[in-house]
Amino acid sequence: MSEKSFTLETDADGIAILTWDMPGRSMNLITEAAMEELSEAVERVASDPAIAGAIITTAKKDFSGGADITMLAGLFGEYEKKLAENEMAAIAELLERSSRLSRIFRRLETCGKPFVAAVKGISMGGGTELMLACHGRVVAEGAKIGLPEVKIGIFPGAGGTQRVMRMTDAVAGLQFLLKGSTLSPEKAKTMGLVEEVVSEAELMEAAKAMLREGLSAVKPWDHEGFRLKGAAAIWTPGGFQVWPAANGLYRKETFDNYPGARAIMQAVFDGLQLSMDQALNVESRYFAKVLRTKEAQAMIRSLFVSMQELGKGARRPKDVPASEIKTLGVIGAGFMGAGIAYVSARAGMEVVLIDQDQESAEKGKAHCASLAAKQVERGRMRQDEAEALLARIRPTTQYAELGPAELVIEAVFENRKVKADVTKGAGEWLGGGAVFASNTSTLPITSLAKEYRDESAFIGIHFFSPVEKMHLVEVICGEKTGKKALAVALDYVHAIKKTPIVVNDSRGFYANRCVTAYLLEGHLMLTEGVPPAMIENAGRMAGMPVGPLSLNDEVGLDLGWKIVQATEADLGPEAVSPEQKALLQELVEKRGRFGRKNGKGFYDYEGREKRLWPGLAEIAPPKDADKFDIAELKQRLLVTQALEAARTVGEGVVTDPREADVGSILGFGFAPFTGGTLSYIDFMGTKEFVALAKRLAKKHGPRFKPNRLLLEMAENGETFYGRFGTSAETGKAA
Ligand code: NAD
């Protein structure tokens, strides 16, 4: 095996083939070493008179996954170390190192010899930027082309923003950069980002033909007199129409919370008014600036590093051999059960889907069929794949069919007696080593486990709705849950390509506790007289995907009302808020408003349209919006969730900060730019956070009181990542 990432071979026609094949990795990544090699290869192509032009391609299934993000995180680490000694020198070095890739790509673009990118499979981030720096692009059918950097808080800083905007329509280019979306080769071609789309077998021949036909080694923008077209030419009538609107849209989508997205707007706007060399310089400066923001660090840590680690089984007990679920049992073919059956069959498992009568079981399978049909319609699944998926789901009423199942997940009604019956019933038919899981949202796992023949083989596997869309799965260890059950649950979550967090048993586990706090805060604001539209806007401005009232309508006001009643019955009247109780009782019991499900909640629904219900003014008369400080409303909505997350850590429910953070973003969309509930506290500083919580507690009540853990951490100047590290392995599982 070659220790090099790139090999260069020249054929008789003077075409150099530069093949990317990173040793020891399944995906080509841009590392410091790869940059060095690429730079050397470009110089060889430039200086060797025997080479007329070059093709950059891959020996792997995919072209490239882009820059090695851990390298970027490392760059920042070194910057921080040097910062204390000499701030200016530290910034200058960060700029120098973070702009290196951009300089190599520019050298490739201007070295005098034409380069063609021959791309197949995945091309992301720096890989796509390399492709754009080349003089021609041939892409194999089925490839996936993206610049997803904005999703982890940064942006394409190696020429991506400048080249995209000079190659495609301004609106399409901005959307592509700001959304971080993935393009099909055909779409990329329509946009002008790719010249040719061919079959994989024809890829190299087509790339060679492009060179033989005399591909120019000078980019359009490096010709004298180059003029931007359409709205990309900012100071033109077309530009006047697009740029103010683009700014408005940017604000509407991001509320200016994301420095990475803001830098895209700035780099593009500034860069389009400059020559390419100057524009790249400007882009590099924005890039180094964004790397230094806490948002970029928080997002890289949670949404890239931690998510990968958790996905790879960071919390899996290492000494349990890997398990493979060939047959999965699902009991309860309702909304959740059908979703679980679908994602499991999609991952290749045989699924026995049980309900109380055959008709209900068939209905669950029909739901899977409609999900698969939608995928086929959108071109994301072939018809034969959909048929094979459905053939793997067996609807039945017979527990006997569960015999071969290695894992069973129950998703029957949220009723202790019903759950006890199916757990006992299924246990009689299952093989010796089978693990039994509950998808309960509220019932403690430890108590449900008592109904299974082996409590150590019982675990919680809590999905989020809708199952086929939500990436998070909360795995819950009861007091007696054993390592094997945990390992099997995590192997299963890995197989269905979702991200797990492992938490210990508690009322509401982790995610629902934080969400409940968010909903409560929205309810209390309403009863205080905050105008409902202001509450909703405060939620979105704080970075949440939807306001608390909208979210409650989606979940169901009746469910909220049920939970308040159950909490009061179990824990006493002090455990519930009297204002919230009165509000939900009025809405659900007196006004019959259950949420989106019956078209009446905090909003009125008509088809896809919704409007805040005017009747809310009778129940909670609104005060003048000027009486409320929007900054404080935003803080309340995030702080209440972060406090609840800190309580789960204090109680030992969550043991690893990565899980609180990743779980909060994937599970309930906690403001992603913060890096998650605990990163929100860490990046604010525990001391500052505690002071803020105390101020809010004084003004709004004891729900904002920081717990003992937070007080202690503030006192000692600790952070969650500093105190709890990231090495916890198995929670309480014995
Ligand atoms: P649902 O009412 O849509 O489905 C429940 C299904 O269980 C029904 O098809 C019912 O016929 C079946 N069932 C009832 N008794 C049965 C029995 N004895 N044997 C076999 N099947 C039986 O409910 P759902 O929304 O899918 O919720 C199911 C579980 O998932 C609950 O525990 C719930 O708390 C949990 N959960 C729900 C959500 C959500 O958003 N809906 C999210 C996470 C977890």
Predicted confidence (pLDDT) per residue in 146-177, tens digit: 999 999 999 999 999 999 999 999 999 999 99
Residue 587 near ligand 1, beta carbon < 6 Å: no
Same domain flag for 182 and 264: yes
- Please say whether the beta carbons of 408 and 330 come within 8 A: yes
Determine the Cα–Cα distance for residues 353 and 328; give it in Å rounded to an integer. Answer: 9
414 Cα nearest atom in ligand 1: 32
Give the tens place of pLDDT for each residue, 129-149.
999 999 999 999 999 999 999
**CATH code of the domain in which 430 resides:** 3.40.50.720
Q: How far is the CA of 339 from the centre of ligand 1 (A)?
A: 11
**Residue 727's pLDDT band (cuts 50, 70, 90):** low
Distance 413 CA to ligand 1 centre (A): 4
Q: Which candidate in 135, 462, 494, 523 is catalytic?
A: 462
On whether both 347 and 492 belong to a single domain, the answer is: yes
The answer on pLDDT for 200 being more than 90 is yes
Q: Is the CB of 331 under 6 A from ligand 1?
A: yes
pLDDT band at 650; cut points 50, 70, 90? very high
Q: Which atom of ligand 1 is nearest to the CA of 363?
A: 9
Whether 428 and 343 map to the same domain: the answer is: yes
Q: Which two tokens stand for residue 408?
A: 């069973």
Domain boundary among 478, 507, 536: 507
CATH number of the domain encompassing residue 668 = 1.10.1040.50
> What letter does residue 53 receive in the DSSP assignment?
E
User: Using 50, 70 and 90 to split pLDDT, how confident is the model at 673?
Assistant: very high
45's CB contacts (< 8 A; 6+ apart) are: 8, 16, 18, 51, 53, 54, 111, 113, 115
Domain co-membership, 426 together with 521: no
- Ligand 1 contact via 2 beta carbon (within 6 Å): no
Establish whether residue 396 lines the binding site of ligand 1, counting it when its CB lies within 6 angstroms of any ligand atom: no
| Domain shared by 152 and 123, yes or no | yes
Domain-embedded: residue 92: yes
Q: What is the pLDDT of residue 159?
A: 98
- Which atom number of ligand 1 is nearest to the Cα of residue 465? 40
Q: What is the pLDDT of residue 1?
A: 42
Please tell me if the CB atom of residue 355 comes closer than 6 angstroms to any atom of ligand 1. Answer: yes
One domain for residues 212 and 336: no
Which segments of 496-584 does DSSP mark as H helices, in order?
511-528, 532-541, 548-555, 557-571, 578-584
Retrieve residue 654's tokens. 């969550």
Above 50 in pLDDT, residue 734? no
Average pLDDT over residues 443-455: 95
136 shares a domain with 103 = yes
Residue appearing with tokens 């990475």 = 260
C-alpha distances out from residue 117 to 58, 129, 181, 482, 727, Å: 10, 11, 21, 51, 41
Domain boundary among 488, 507, 526: 507
With beta carbons less than 8 A apart as the criterion, state whether 592 and 579 touch: no
Whether 655 lines ligand 1, by a CB cut-off of 6 Å, is no
Taking the CA of residue 418 as reference, the ligand 1 atom at the shortest distance is 18
Phi-psi region of 121 (alpha: psi -120 to 50; beta: other; left: phi over 0): left
Q: How confident is the model at residue 339, as a pLDDT?
A: 98
Q: How confident is the model at residue 94 (pLDDT cuts 50, 70, 90)?
A: very high
Q: What is the mean pLDDT of residues 389-413?
A: 97
Distance CA 694, CA 714 (A): 12
* Among 731, 626, 672, 734, residue whose Cα is nearest residue 153: 672
The alpha carbon of 682 and the centre of ligand 1 are apart by a number of angstroms equal to 38
Do 497 and 516 fall within a single domain? Answer: no
Residue 578: C-alpha distances to residues 78, 526, 572, 643, 701 (Å) = 52, 13, 12, 21, 13
Q: Residue 733 — very low, low, confident or very high, per pLDDT cuts 50/70/90?
A: very low
C-beta 418 within 6 A of ligand 1? yes
54: domain CATH number is 3.90.226.10
Q: Are residues 503 and 516 both part of a single domain? A: no
Cα 416 to Cα 409: distance, rounded to the nearest angstrom: 15
**Whether residue 441 has its Cβ less than 6 Å from ligand 1:** yes
**Rounded to 5 degrees, what angle do the CA atoms 192, 196, 197 make?**
110
516/503 same-domain check: no
Distances (CA, A) of 4 to 15, 18, 25, 30, 42: 21, 12, 12, 12, 15
Is the predicted pLDDT of residue 725 greater than 90, yes or no?
Answer: no
Return the pLDDT at 3. 77
More confident residue, 184 or 75: 184
Give dist(CA 139, CA 141) in Å, integer. 7
- Residue at 313 is within a domain: no
- For residues 642 and 298, give the distance between their C-alpha atoms in angstroms, rounded to a whole number: 15
The stretch 595-619 carries a mean pLDDT of 96
Residue 700 amino acid letter: H
CA of residue 725 relative to chain centroid, distance: 22
Helix 708-716 / helix 686-700 crossing angle, nearest 10 deg? 140
Ligand 1 proximity of 354 Cβ (cutoff 6 Å): yes
Q: Are residues 475 and 610 in the same domain?
A: no
> Is position 298 within any domain?
no
pLDDT higher than threshold 90 for residue 80: no
How many alpha carbons lie under 13 Å from residue 348 in its C-beta half-sphere? 7
Tell whether 599 is covered by a domain.
yes
What's the mean pLDDT in 528-535?
Answer: 98
Residue 2 has pLDDT above 60, yes or no: no
C-alpha distances out from residue 160 to 103, 120, 173, 297, 625, Å: 12, 19, 10, 21, 43
> Which of 336, 440, 510, 513 to probe ligand 1 with, by most ligand atoms within 8 A of CB?
336
CA of 312 to the centre of ligand 1 (A): 30
Q: Is residue 648 part of a domain?
A: yes
Q: Tell me, using a 6 A CB cutoff, whether residue 361 lines ligand 1.
A: no
Give the mutation target among 396, 412, 415 for probing the ligand 1 site: most ligand atoms within 8 A of CB. 412
299 domain residue, yes or no:
no
Taking the CA of residue 364 as reference, the ligand 1 atom at the shortest distance is 9
| pLDDT 10s digits, 223-235 | 998 999 888 999 9
Whether the per-residue pLDDT at 13 is higher than 60: the answer is yes
Number of domains in the chain: 3
- 311 found inside a domain: no
Residue with structure tokens 């018809």?
A: 383
Q: Nearest C-alpha to atom 29 of ligand 1 is from which residue?
A: 411
- The token duo for 345 is 């069959």
Q: Is residue 322 part of a domain?
A: no
Please provide the size of the chain in residues: 734
Atom number of ligand 1 nearest to Cα 415: 32
Residue 464 CA, ligand 1 centroid: distance in Å: 13
Residue of minimum CA distance from atom 31 in ligand 1: 414
* Whole-number Å distance between alpha carbons of 155 and 149: 5
Average pLDDT over every residue of 208-216? 97
Domain that holds residue 55: 6-292
- Listed residue (103, 30, 115) closest to 64, CA to CA: 30
What's the average model confidence in pLDDT over 512-535? Answer: 97
Question: For the residues 619-644, what does the mean pLDDT come to?
Answer: 97
Q: Which pLDDT tens digit goes with each residue over 452-505?
A: 999 999 999 999 999 999 999 999 999 999 999 999 999 999 999 999 999 999
Q: What is the C-alpha to C-alpha distance for residues 116 and 114, in angstroms, rounded to an integer?
A: 7
Dump pLDDT digits (tens) for 353-383.
999 999 999 999 999 999 999 999 998 899 9
Arithmetic mean of pLDDT over the chain: 95
Angle 510-516-518 from CA coordinates, rounded to 5°:
110
pLDDT digits (tens, 9 = 90+) for 278-301: 999 999 999 999 999 999 999 999
367 has catalytic annotation: no
* 512 CB near ligand 1 (under 6 Å): no
Give the best-scoring range by mean pLDDT among 56-60, 83-87, 430-434: 56-60
- pLDDT tens string 688-706: 999 999 999 999 999 999 9
Residues 6+ apart with CB under 8 A from 494: 311, 313, 500
Residue range 580-600: average pLDDT?
Answer: 96
Same domain, 134 and 268: yes
Last residue of a domain, one of 273, 292, 311: 292
pLDDT above 90: residue 432: no
